[in-house]
């Protein structure tokens, strides 16, 4: 897709698609269009260590090797998250056979093992992912949510960054989340961007080695367009703390109703226009802020996208910048224009 001299354009990579001999186009597009890659799944704990003590490194190693061949940077995703954890870990913690102290050791050991293995090869690590609740669960106040907060308390966030820094002092360490794309869009007491901002500020005060905030960018055309000023404001707030920013998982899905079907790449389809506009709002905000280091799409083709599998009632899709046959959609063309004119 091209680039501002210092802005990296990335994609999440589905390793099964990358390895599929029947699908050479997927590989070609990954290497032709992007200069940064993220593993969509293979660096997650459940995939890396399905059996306690036995790591399955091969797919993650292959991602790193492919990136090297293609001269691409790698965003490491993800060290600490409440989803896609190994069953032995969640079961053990929940039934008490793994104590709190042991769980903390296991987490430290995991972070240290993974970060050391890829030391020098990862540009940005998503150290902690999605630690904060959403405005719609338990309003009116936000809180630390999920498996790790439940078992270890919120202090695990600071611990995780410290352990990651010790294992690879040069990798940039990110906190990554969704619904933090805009600033000033909601009730301040229940605003996730504000919560993450306050969290980052406190971590920095406490001397915790956090370098950046990853804003995922999973949007939907049914929610309307983002306001450029609010997106710009969010990036600026984080930059004001001395942090880097990045859009890490951008996609803009639509509900598939009559007249809007999977595979539809019609340029004048209003949902695809709205999707393109949202891609562009985030990209322009990133281009305008030198602290915004990279812009990553969460898959680049509707042929391989998490959206249809996840949102089924009502069905959603058409979230990426190319259709199922790798034809560029309006979003691709608009991004290209933004990048050329930057």
Cα–Cα distance measured from residue 104 to residue 107, given in angstroms and rounded to the nearest whole number: 5
* Beta carbon nearer to ligand G3I, 199 or 287: 199
Percent of the chain as helix, strand, coil, to the nearest 5: 40, 20, 40
Q: Is 142 helix (H, G, I), strand (E, B) or coil?
A: coil
Report in angstroms the alpha-carbon separations of 244 from 7, 34, 163, 248, 291.
12, 20, 20, 12, 5
Q: Residues 234, 182, 251, CA angle at the centre, nearest 5°? A: 115
Set 33, 49, 130, 181: catalytic member = 130
Quick one: tokens of 145?
Answer: 């949510």
Please identify, using beta-carbon distances, which residue of 133 and 269 lies nearer to ligand G3I: 133
Residues ≥6 apart with Cβ < 8 Å to 117? 57
Site of tokens 């597009």:
29
Instruction: In angstroms, give the least distance from the CB of 77 to ligand G3I.
Output: 6
Task: Give me the residues that bind ligand G3I (CB under 6 A), please.
Answer: 40-41, 83-84, 129, 216, 249, 306
**216 vs 301 by CB, closer to ligand G3I:** 216
Q: How many contiguous H segments (helices) and E segments (strands) does the chain have?
A: 13, 10
Q: Which is nearer to ligand G3I, 2 or 46 (CB)?
A: 46
Of residues 41 and 280, the one with the C-beta less far from ligand G3I: 41
Q: For ligand G3I, which is the closer residue by CB, 84 or 202? A: 84
Instruction: Tell me the angle at which helices 156-167 and 192-205 cross, rounded to the nearest 10 degrees.
Output: 60
Confirm whether 130 is a catalytic residue: yes
Q: Where are the beta strands (DSSP E) in the chain?
A: 8-13, 36-39, 73-80, 124-129, 172-177, 212-215, 218-220, 244-255, 292-297, 316-317
Smallest distance, Å, CB 187 to ligand G3I? 24
Least distance in angstroms from the C-beta of 178 to ligand G3I = 6
Query: Which listed residue (40, 181, 249, 316) is catalytic?
Result: 249
Q: How far is the CB of 216 from ligand G3I (least distance, A)?
A: 6
What phi and psi values does residue 127 have, to the nearest 5 degrees? Answer: -75, -50
Residue 198: closest CA among 235, 160, 237: 237
Taking the complex as a whole, how short is the minimal distance between the CB of residue 69 and ligand G3I, in angstroms?
23
Closest residue (Cβ) to ligand G3I?
Answer: 306
Minimum distance from residue 290 beta carbon to ligand G3I (Å): 26
Residue 186 is classified by DSSP as S
* Active site residues per annotation: 130, 249
């Amino acid at each position: 897709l091209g680039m501002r001299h210092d802005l990296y354009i990335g994609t999440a990579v589905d390793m099964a698609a990358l390895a599929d001999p029947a699908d050479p186009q997927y590989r070609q597009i990954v290497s032709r269009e992007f200069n940064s890659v993220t593993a969509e799944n293979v660096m997650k704990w459940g995939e890396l260590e399905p059996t306690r003590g036995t790591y399955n490194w091969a797919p993650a190693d292959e991602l790193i090797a492919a990136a090297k061949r293609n001269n691409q940077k790698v965003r490491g995703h993800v060290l600490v998250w409440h989803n896609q954890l190994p069953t032995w870990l969640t079961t053990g913690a929940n039934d008490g056979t793994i104590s709190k102290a042991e769980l903390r050791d296991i987490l430290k050991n995991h972070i240290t093992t993974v970060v050391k293995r890829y030391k020098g090869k990862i540009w940005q690590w998503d150290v902690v992912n999605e630690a904060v609740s959403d405005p719609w669960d338990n309003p009116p106040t936000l809180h630390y949510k999920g498996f790790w907060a439940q078992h270890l308390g919120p202090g695990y966030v600071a611990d995780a960054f410290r352990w990651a820094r010790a294992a690879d002092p040069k990798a940039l360490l990110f906190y990554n989340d969704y619904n933090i794309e805009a600033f000033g869009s909601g009730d301040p007491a229940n605003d996730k961007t504000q919560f993450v901002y306050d969290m980052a500020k406190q971590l920095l005060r406490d001397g915790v080695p956090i370098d950046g905030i990853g804003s995922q960018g999973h949007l939907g055309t049914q929610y309307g367009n983002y306001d450029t000023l609010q997106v710009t404001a969010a990036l600026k707030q984080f930059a004001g703390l001395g942090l880097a920013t990045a859009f890490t998982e951008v996609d803009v899905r639509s509900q598939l109703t009559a007249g809007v079907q999977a595979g539809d790449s019609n340029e004048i389809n209003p949902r695809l226009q709205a999707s393109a506009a949202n891609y562009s709002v985030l990209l322009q905000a990133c281009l305008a802020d030198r602290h915004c280091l990279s812009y990553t799409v969460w898959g680049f083709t509707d042929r391989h996208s998490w959206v249809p599998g996840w949102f089924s009632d009502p069905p959603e899709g058409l979230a990426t910048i190319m259709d199922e046959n790798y034809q560029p959609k309006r979003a691709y063309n608009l991004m290209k224009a933004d990048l050329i004119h930057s």
